[in-house]
Structure formats: C-alpha cells, structure tokens
Amino acid sequence: MNLSRVLSTEILPVVDRPSRYLGTEHNAVHKQGARVRMALAFPDLYDLGLGNLGLHILYAILNRIDGVAAERVYAPAPDMERELRARGLKLFGVESRDELCDFDAIGFTLQSELTFTNILNMIDLAGLPLRTAHRAAGPIVLAGGPAVFNPEPLAPFIDAFVIGDGEQVVSEIAGVLAVHRERDARLLALSRLEGVYVPALYPMETLPDGRVVPPLDAPKIRKRTARALDGNNFPVDYIVPFTEQVHDRVSLEVLRGCTQGCRFCQAGMTTRPVRERTVDAVEELMTRTLAATGYEEVSLVSLSTCDHSRVRSLVERTSTMAKAQHVALSLPSLRLDSFSVELADMASSTRRTGLTFAPEAASPRLRAVINKWIPDDELIEMASAAYEKGWEHVKTYFMIGLPTEREEDIVAIADLCARTLAAGKRKNPRATVNTGVSTFVPKPFTPFQWARQINIQETEEKQSLLLQNIKRHKNIKFGRHKPHETFLEGLVSRADRRAGDLIEAAWRHGARFDAWGEHLDFGAWQRAIDEVGYDCDDALRERALDERLPWDHIDIHVPKAWFVADYERAMLLQHAPDCRAKKCHDCGVIDVERALCAHMLRNSIEGRKAERAWTRAPLAAVPEPLPVQRLRFRVGREGDARFLGHLEWQKAWQRALRRAGAPIAYTQGFHPHPRVDFSSALPSGEESRAEFMDARLVRRVDMEALFSSLRATAPAGFLLLGVEEVPLEAAATMGEVRGWRYELVPGLAIDEARAAAERIERATALPVTRRSKSGPIEVDVRPMVDRIAVRDDGVVELDLGTVNGKPGKAREIVELMQLPPTTRVVRTEVRFR
Ligand code: SF4
C-alpha cells in the first residue's frame, strides 16, 4: 500500500520536522519497476541516520544495479509512530512511500546495542512478526554494520546477518533476491554467501548452565573484506538533507581499518588491515562530491585519520581546496600527539573553538594496559601546542572501569586535566578544559572481551570520586555519561541468544531510543529484567580465558589465541606498537589477507619517506572578494516542499546555488556567511509563488545561464519563477515587506467558504495564542487581516500585514475560519511598501 496521500494531507502537517520523511532530498533515487526492492533501514532518527556513510555507500551501489531499487527508512520519531499506529498504517520507504511489507528485504545498519529496541519497533511497524521463526513470507530482514560482530542477541529477530564490509556482498544479496522468490529458498541461498550468517540454519548448543554457544566443530562465518577503497563505491551523489543533521557534512572516508591496537576498541580489530585512498583519489572525490551536493563541510573520516600514510599532503591539498570553495574541513579522529595539532592547524579556518583528544586513561600505567601509550609530558606538550596556536578549549575523553583500574587512576584524570589547564593558561589566558568520561564496556573481538564491566553503583561511585577531585580546579568542565546507558549496552554486548527475550520484553514495555537521554526509559528495562529473570551480574561478569563465547563462530581473521596473548601482554603492561610503524605482530590477518597486509606495510614505509620530504606550501591570507553583481530570483515552492521550515528552505537554496556554480560572495570575518538574503520567512505548511532571494556574486555571470543551472539542480517542489539584476546597493527586500497576499483553497462549498470569511471580516478581535521566548502570549490578529474575500471558484483571497513587527499568519486564519486542516495555503504575492 502506498501512503503518499495520507502522509501529505494528514500526517506530515501534524508531526515535528516533517522534512525527515519527505524522501525528495537532492540526489534521492526514485526508481520505478524494479524486480528487487530493498529498504535500507537505520534504527535511529533521520537527523543521525542521514549522515551514515555506510548507508550512502550501499544505497548508491544497489541503485546502480539494473532491476534493483534501494530506498531508505529511518526510525520514526515518537509522534510519527503514534500517527502510524493510530491509523493502522505500516512503516514506509521514504522514496516511494510504499509500506515496508511490499519490499523484498529490509536491511538494518547496526550502530550500537542501544538501537536494538528501535530495530524491533521498526520490524513491528513494518507489520512483520518480530521473530524469524514466526515469519512465513514477506521481506527478508537483514542486518550488518559495526555492531554486528556478536549477532546472537538479535539472532531471534534477524533472518540473515552480513559480517564485515558490505560493498560486494550487497550485490550478491540482491542477486539472490532476484533469483529466488520464496522465503526458504532465499534464506538457504543467502546462507551460502561468504560472510552471511543465517541463524535459523545454524546449529547452536545449550550448555548445562544454560549458555547458548556455537558447537566446537561448527562452520565459521568469515567476515567480508573490501579489497580496495576505490572511487567507484564512493557515493559522490550523496543525498543532501533538508533537516538539520547531528553531523551535517559529507563524510569522505580516507582510510578503513586501524592498527594502533587499543585493547578496548572493537572497530580497530574487526576492520584490519588498513586500506587507504590515495591523496589524488580523495581530492577527486571531494571535488565531485561538493559539485554534486553543494555541501559546506567535508569531514575526512576514518578510525584514525592521522594514520594515513601521506596525511600531511592529504590535509594540505584538501584544506586548500576547501578554503577556495568556502567549505569547512574537519578531522574528527585525531591521534594523541603534537603532529595532530599541526594537522588540525592546517585544516582549520581562522576561528578556533574546541580541539578534542581521547587519552582514555590518565595514568601512564593504565595507558600501557590499554595500549594507548603516550607519556604524560608529551600529552601536556601537545595540549600546550594547541592552546598556543589559538585553541581556547581542549576536550579530553576518558574511560572509567577499565581492567586493572585503581582509585589513583581516577584521581589521575583530575590531576592530568589540571596540569593540562595550567600549561594551557601559560600560553592562552582564556584556556579551558572540558572532560568527558564514559564507562568501559567490554566488547567481543577485543583483548578485553573477558574483562568484567562495572555496574551502575560502581560507576556512580567512581564518577563522584572524580567530581570531588575535579571540583578543586577552576575552568575544568566535567561531563559524564549516564551510567544506565552503558549498563544496558553491557547487558547485551557479550550476550547469547537468550538476550533476545530481554530486548523484546524491554521493547514491549515501551523502551525506544535508548541512546537518547530524553527518551531512555530505564524503568521499562527494569521491568523487562524482572519479567524474564535476566541475570545482570552474569552479563557483566569476567569471563574465563578458556570459556566458550557466543561469537566463537564468527571469524574476523584474528584468532582467539591472539586476543588471549594480547590480554596477557596488557596485564604485564607491555605496549604493542602499531604494526605499520614497527613490525607485524602476527595478529592473524596476514594469514588470510596476505596481499592487503603486504600492501599496507609497503605503503606505510613509502608514505613515511614521502612525509619526511614534504614541505608546506606558503599560504597567503586572502580577504573575501567584494560582490560585483546582485541577482534577485523570484522563488517559490509547491507540494510536499511546503513542509520545510524556513531555515531548511533557505539552506536548500544556498546549496542549490553552490551546485549551480554561482560565485557567491561571503561576509568578512571569522565566520564568513554566504550573502544570500530572502524577502521574508516562509512558515512550514505554506506553498508560495512570491518569495525573493537576493544573491550577491563576486564574478559577473550570464543571468539566464545561471537561472537554467539553478532550475536544473533545485530539489523537487522548489520553484524558480524569474530573475533580474538589481543594483548592489538596493535596499534589502525584507525591510520593504508590509504584508502578503494568500490564496486559501479549502475545497468547501462556496457558501460555506463565504460564511467563514464573513465571520473573520465582522470580528472586532481575533485572539490567538502564540509561542514566544518568554512562553505563550495572547495576540489579537484581527488588525493583521487587511482583506478577505471569496472568489466564485471557492478560493479565499487573504491579505495579511504586520502589526508592531508581528506578522499575520495564514494558518491561524485557516483555524479561526474553521476551514479543514487540509486547506492549501498558497502565498501568491509579497506586498511591498
Ligand atoms: S597481520 Fe601483522 S601486518 Fe597484518 S594487521 Fe596484523 S599485525 Fe598488522
């Protein structure tokens, strides 16, 4: 069933941020007549999910295949869930708005254990039985991604897991779905693909104490590894969101994998060996992606970007390109050394706010245990260098509850922050330190997978010990994670299939969005723990080194024996340096991926030589060029584009101008802004044919050519109605607006519409309640109604003005007239002074 009509007329007008569900973003793919339809599902809000690079990659690969269509679906916010359930509707793919039960497969990206209840919620909202055992037909439910390496807690609900990189296997899965149409045949064929795990077809053994583990002789599921990060699989036609994102930028993956060997880090172990993009490839992808999207920020992402073998050239060339295009460049994963400060310095613009480092442990002893080795002096020197270069805030992240931790290790966090701050104050009197502390959660496939996790009470005690010590120092801010979140993560991260009962019970008790402090319902989890009799102490306990583990059947190429050896090295405080810097530690990957490991080692040797010879090209400070031309575009919107908020709509036009190649002028100063102005705010829910957008340009352009390019790249529902050149010094349109003319199309009989209009005309006062910064306020909107009349075709013409700076709002008049909520509101004219 298709939900387009009900969404546009009934649901989108009443939910928060309707732009999350439009599916008409620039570069979204709308493919018709596909034989295989796959819904790529992100189990969290759109605002977080749209930036997920893995989902963009799979979306692009699948949509390039003939006969295959991929759509997206995100966890609906609570208000959307309410609207769907109230009407008995199912969750839908955002592009087609078809219900998910019409698809061949729903593929979840697993980010963290705290999204597991959202996955169950989305399966339920899709109209499928929660458990695979109860499904006889309908879409195959798949899952892959970074949190998939212990698939067992979700095994009762997921038909097939994809272990490792998805680039190749996703096409193979689409092939299986195209050939086999029956559920059982599909599952059998999927189970034969390398890297695909179908729990229902896999034998498990229940031990006498109740633990469910793979049999000793069971076949292994070997993770998939993408051979190379070639440009073909990078989604240069990145979807450009309307809704403001938690990370609103292009994520450009520069390398995958990490060989630093931090002993708590699962991603570092499961993504080996390192594969990287050449600097030329990154530069080319960045050029194409910016041209295709109009984005203003690019992030060079990886687990540790400083470990790129030619990172200086990489940062220099990308930052030069970024500056020329008024694009911000970010390096989110900085290593702990002064070299990182040098790179951040090259990448950053003139304004410096915060720089983030994650020592994770504050005492040298504990840093040796976790294999994140750096002497205290170097840490402080690095922070000093950052303050000296103009950063005022250094953010530091630590963990509590790490194996072998003692009280003095906690006190050392406050001490290290204080010494960092003192050193910083000598360089910069405005220096501050922000400290974030989270609780260690032992993860499968790490040397610490056997360690005990501390419980909520212990976390609180350690946090308050730290707080007492931090309070003694001014200018150190302390942020702590909620102990409940990491506790819940710990309940399932190393669990076996029995945890499925707990997750289901928690979901049934109302748990959703467990990673969001404002949504986390710990009471729901407590009721679930009691109901299923879940043994929380057992979930957090230390495991014996020879214990059979629920994930023993997953093969990430690093054998268990190596993790045991590294755990023992940790207990002896032995540092294992990065194999790319020193020598191979024989972690096992080389036995399977000899060519990749050899290439990685060779590349890093060559890279070190190249980096030694690198010299930085001198950078000249260039002031922003002044505008030489000002174009005034008449713009508007129709259809579902009306649901955009004013800021979303403005930003979408600015990005469209960038895609169209407009040489936009920028303001001077620390934070240059594009000199693009709009005549007035356009409220969500209103269509328009009457807005003006002024763009100042630093180079004269052919007005008609730019008009055509802009029209070609504007998102669906965006109207470009005219353009003229105006003098540079012309007054801003916003200051000249005295009101707006509207057409209201209620679809009523003409007498009804006339009676409603007369009520407004005859009224002496029309009080409404509006929201203001200081709370609700009562406003009489009658003086804002300059004219109201009903035409013979039943359309209401309405002229609104402003009174004491407060604008008339057409939707308020629709409500006062008691017109149907589905009434179209179209702004047809701006009334200038
Ligand atoms: S096998 Fe050796 S070179 Fe390859 S990732 Fe492991 S430690 Fe590094």
pLDDT at residue 332, as a whole number: 77
Per-residue pLDDT reduced to its tens digit, 409-420: 999 999 999 988
CA of 266 to the centre of ligand 1 (A): 16
Which among 563, 578, 597 is the best mutation to test ligand 1's pocket, defined by most ligand atoms within 8 Å of the CB? 597
Per-residue pLDDT reduced to its tens digit, 490-516: 999 999 999 999 999 999 999 999 998
Residue 558 — very low, low, confident or very high, per pLDDT cuts 50/70/90? very high
CA of 555 to the centre of ligand 1 (A): 16
> Which atom of ligand 1 is found nearest the CA of 590?
1
CA of 594 to the centre of ligand 1 (A): 9
Paired tokens of 499: 């945890």
Q: Mean per-residue pLDDT for 403-432?
A: 89
Residues 563-591, buried b or exposed e (16+ Cβ, 10 A)? bebbbebbeeeeebebbbeeeebebbbbe
**Comparing 325-329, 350-354, 591-595, which segment has the lowest mean pLDDT?**
350-354
Per-residue pLDDT reduced to its tens digit, 162-191: 999 999 999 999 999 999 999 999 999 999
As beta bridge partners, residue 212 has 206
Give the CA count within 13 Å in the CB-facing half-sphere of 752.
Answer: 8
pLDDT at residue 733, as a whole number: 81
> Which atom of ligand 1 is found nearest the CA of 587?
6
As beta bridge partners, residue 637 has 688, 718
Is the Cβ–Cβ distance between 825 and 798 less than 8 Å? no
Tell me if 259 CB under 6 Å of ligand 1.
Answer: yes
CA of 560 to the centre of ligand 1 (A): 15
CA of 102 to the centre of ligand 1 (A): 45
Is the Cβ–Cβ distance between 746 and 826 less than 8 Å? no
- Decide: helix, strand or coil at residue 502: helix
What lies within 8 Å, CB to CB, of 762 at 6+ separation is none
Tell me if 585 CB under 6 Å of ligand 1.
Answer: yes
> Which atom of ligand 1 is found nearest the CA of 600?
3
Q: Report whether pLDDT(338) > 70.
A: no
> Which atom of ligand 1 is found nearest the CA of 257?
5
Paired tokens of 135: 């499904």
Per-residue pLDDT reduced to its tens digit, 596-643: 999 999 999 998 888 888 777 766 667 788 999 999 999 999 999 999
pLDDT at residue 691, as a whole number: 94
For residues 43 and 74, what is the distance between their CA atoms, to the nearest angstrom? 6
pLDDT at residue 231, as a whole number: 67
pLDDT at residue 229, as a whole number: 82
First and final CA of the chain: distance in angstroms?
Answer: 50
CA of 145 to the centre of ligand 1 (A): 22
Tell me if 597 CB under 6 Å of ligand 1.
Answer: yes
Per-residue pLDDT reduced to its tens digit, 786-825: 999 999 999 999 999 998 888 999 999 999 999 988 899 9
Closest of 207, 569, 99, 510 to residue 369, by C-alpha? 569
Per-residue pLDDT reduced to its tens digit, 688-701: 999 999 999 999 99
CA of 583 to the centre of ligand 1 (A): 8
pLDDT at residue 643, as a whole number: 94
For residues 561 and 566, what is the distance between their CA atoms, to the nearest angstrom? 9
**Comparing 92-101, 193-202, 670-679, which segment has the lowest mean pLDDT?**
670-679
Residue 333 — very low, low, confident or very high, per pLDDT cuts 50/70/90? low
pLDDT at residue 529, as a whole number: 97
pLDDT at residue 610, as a whole number: 86
> Which atom of ligand 1 is found nearest the CA of 272?
5
**Comparing 212-216, 599-603, 772-776, which segment has the lowest mean pLDDT?**
772-776
Which among 255, 271, 586, 593 is the best mutation to test ligand 1's pocket, defined by most ligand atoms within 8 Å of the CB? 586
As beta bridge partners, residue 438 has 399
Per-residue pLDDT reduced to its tens digit, 504-552: 999 999 999 999 888 889 999 999 999 999 999 999 999 999 999 999 9
Atom 3 in ligand 1: which residue has the minimum CA distance? 584
Is the Cβ–Cβ distance between 44 and 110 less than 8 Å? no
Atom 6 in ligand 1: which residue has the minimum CA distance? 587
Tell me if 587 CB under 6 Å of ligand 1.
Answer: yes
**Comparing 22-26, 111-115, 330-334, 821-825, which segment has the lowest mean pLDDT?**
330-334
H or E element, residue 70: strand 68-74
CA of 605 to the centre of ligand 1 (A): 14
pTM for the model stands at: 0.92
Q: Mean per-residue pLDDT for 218-236?
A: 86
Which among 270, 584, 594 is the best mutation to test ligand 1's pocket, defined by most ligand atoms within 8 Å of the CB? 584
pLDDT at residue 618, as a whole number: 66
Q: How much is the mean pLDDT over the chain?
A: 92
Atom 5 in ligand 1: which residue has the minimum CA distance? 273
> Which atom of ligand 1 is found nearest the CA of 588?
1
CA of 183 to the centre of ligand 1 (A): 40
Per-residue pLDDT reduced to its tens digit, 25-81: 999 999 998 999 999 999 999 999 998 999 999 999 999 999 999 999 999 999 999
**Comparing 197-201, 325-329, 476-480, which segment has the lowest mean pLDDT?**
476-480
CA of 387 to the centre of ligand 1 (A): 36
pLDDT at residue 786, as a whole number: 94
Tell me if 579 CB under 6 Å of ligand 1.
Answer: yes
Q: Report whether pLDDT(395) > 90.
A: no
Tell me if 586 CB under 6 Å of ligand 1.
Answer: yes
What lies within 8 Å, CB to CB, of 459 at 6+ separation is 400, 401, 439, 483, 486, 487
Q: Mean per-residue pLDDT for 745-752?
A: 88
Q: Report whether pLDDT(350) > 60.
A: no
Is the Cβ–Cβ distance between 25 and 74 less than 8 Å? no
Q: Report whether pLDDT(565) > 70.
A: yes
> Which atom of ligand 1 is found nearest the CA of 597?
4
Residue 732 — very low, low, confident or very high, per pLDDT cuts 50/70/90? confident
CA of 588 to the centre of ligand 1 (A): 7
Atom 1 in ligand 1: which residue has the minimum CA distance? 590
Atom 2 in ligand 1: which residue has the minimum CA distance? 584
